[in-house]
């Protein structure tokens, strides 16, 4: 029986592996419509996606110049989450080249895990619906452990759950939560430039940056041999 590799690449989900803004923003717009707010354009909220649902709701209210009352936050959050879960995979797709990159890296002994601040059951539901769940040795969410990104314990425990060695892991993400977690864990990291970061990826402090998944294998090879 072949030995299972302990080298793990940990991926963030939203804005890294999948373009989930296609379903997150419509769910947001359906939620804020309860307060009479018109839809907010993708380009004006997309950079907030990685900050979570409440940040997206707050951004929508700020965009329209309307205060978000604290008493409304929970109700709107509940509506948003229900709307999102009901339509979680209507239009969400993997970014171009993901499976080809995983195939190439897999033949070179790498295994894969997902570590997202999204609720674990939502992450699993999404990956199950759009396919590819079998490719990941572990899928963890923001509620899987006590810690979540940027706390490094989140990514370290994800690798341990996947049966990997945290000392041989690489983080791939699109936001400061991902890269800060990797830096704190002492891991090399790869930032994707096509994600949902609320600031330029060049400022995140990643070990390297890629603009397409066809660059991932070379980036991983360079980092694992440096």
Calculate the CA dihedral of residues 181, 185, 187, 191 and round it to 10 degrees. 10
- 6 is an active site residue: no
Q: Can you name the residues that pair with 115 across neighbouring β-strands?
A: 140
Give the 3-state DSSP-derived string for 45-93, with helices as H, strands as E and coil as C. Answer: HHHHHHHCHHHHHHHHHHHCCCCCCHHHHHHHHHHHHHHHHHCCCCCCE
Alpha-carbon distances, residue 211 vs 102, 138, 202 (angstroms) = 16, 25, 12
| Active-site residue (options: 6, 12, 96, 180) | 12
**What are φ and ψ of residue 181, in 5° steps?**
-65, -45
Residue located via tokens 């603009």: 211
Which residues are known to be catalytic? 12
């Amino acid at each position: 029986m072949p030995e299972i590799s302990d080298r793990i690449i940990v991926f963030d989900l939203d804005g890294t592996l999948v373009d989930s803004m296609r379903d997150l923003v419509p769910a947001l717009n359906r939620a804020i419509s309860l307060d009479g707010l018109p839809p907010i354009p993708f380009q004006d909220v997309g950079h907030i996606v990685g900050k979570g649902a409440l940040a997206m709701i707050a951004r929508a209210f700020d965009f329209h110049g309307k205060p978000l009352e604290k008493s409304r936050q929970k109700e709107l959050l509940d509506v948003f989450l229900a709307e999102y879960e009901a339509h979680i995979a209507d239009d969400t797709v993997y970014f171009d080249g993901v499976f080809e990159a995983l195939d190439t890296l897999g033949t070179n002994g790498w295994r894969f895990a997902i570590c997202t601040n999204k609720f674990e059951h939502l992450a699993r539901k999404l990956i199950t619906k759009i396919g590819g769940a079998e490719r990941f040795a572990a899928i963890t969410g923001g509620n899987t452990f006590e810690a979540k990104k940027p706390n490094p314990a989140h990514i370290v425990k994800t690798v341990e759950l996947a049966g990997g060695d945290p000392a041989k892991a690489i983080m791939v993400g699109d936001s400061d939560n991902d890269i800060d977690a990797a830096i704190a864990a002492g891991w090399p990291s790869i930032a994707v430039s096509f994600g949902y970061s609320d600031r330029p990826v060049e400022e995140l402090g990643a070990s390297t940056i890629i603009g397409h998944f066809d660059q991932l294998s070379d980036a991983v090879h360079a980092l694992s041999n440096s």
